[in-house]
Amino acid sequence: MSAVLRVELRDRIAVLTLDRPERLNAVGSETVDRLTRALDDLRDNDDVRALIVAGAGRAFSAGADLGEIESFTSAGQFRAFVGRLTQAYALLEDFPKPSVAAVHGFAFGGGLELALACDLRVVERGARLGLPEMKLGVLPGAGGTQRLPRLMPPAIAKQMILTGEPIDAERAWQLGLVNELAEPGWALATAEKLAGGLTAGAPLALAAGKRLVDYGLGMDLEAAIAYERETVAVLFTTEDRAEGLKAFRERRPGEFRGV
């Protein structure tokens, strides 16, 4: 992979590391293209059961690449850039394997939007999270105004969006945006431990669990429960379900194959 994004496989976990430390891992078109390609390559890789998204250097990501954006000469170019960014983040959100963002330093703008597209977030104490676009006269354009209020109290999300002011990791954890706080320097290790627990699950059930939560939030309760019932019925017919019950009776970890 290009230097802008490193992909490493670590015991059923794919670690995707933004690798532009000299630009504070600003997300530009090349990063978006590499992220899209990596997700396509990993989607059907049975050796990968979970993803971690991390950043090299001093921070997770400063956001979208302002240098690239300043080179645009029309609204159409900016719209196309935001469209590619949005599509890449949607691929991550819809990825059939669970994902964990390992955040240190800060995650601003498009960097925070990347973390929001992950299923879970591990953030180091003292890190800052924010959507500063309002201070530039624009708004988050890669899902920030929509994902953030679905993951924390809407009034606080609105305050962050309308003021552009960040919050720290501790506050984000109190509000439910962060799943686990890590000590400084330990975001990646903590994320690996969390992701390692996820890899023990049955792949079909993990993918179905993601869909049930994500899609169910957009349904009324009756329809969502019906969707849940049908999904669980399908899982009952899988070999992994039979293996899970057998493993439980034999008091051993299940050996799930995703079938």
Q: How far is residue 257's CA from residue 185's CA, in Å, rounded to a whole number?
A: 34
Amino acid at position 1, single letter = M
Q: Which two tokens stand for residue 7?
A: 């992909």
- Residue 224: alpha-carbon gap to chain centroid: 23
CB 99 within 8 A of CB 92: yes
- Residue 113 catalytic? yes
Q: 89, 91, 122: which is closest to 104 by C-alpha?
A: 122
- Residue 124 catalytic? no
Query: Which are the contacts of 35, defined by CB distance < 8 A and separation ≥ 6?
Result: 5, 16, 88, 91, 92
Please tell me which residue in 68, 113, 170, 230 is annotated as part of the active site: 113
Q: 205, 199, 196: which is closest to 244 by C-alpha?
A: 205
Q: Where are the alpha helices (DSSP H) in 10-109?
A: 29-43, 66-70, 75-93
Please tell me which residue in 30, 70, 133, 230 is annotated as part of the active site: 133
Q: Which residues are catalytic?
A: 113, 133
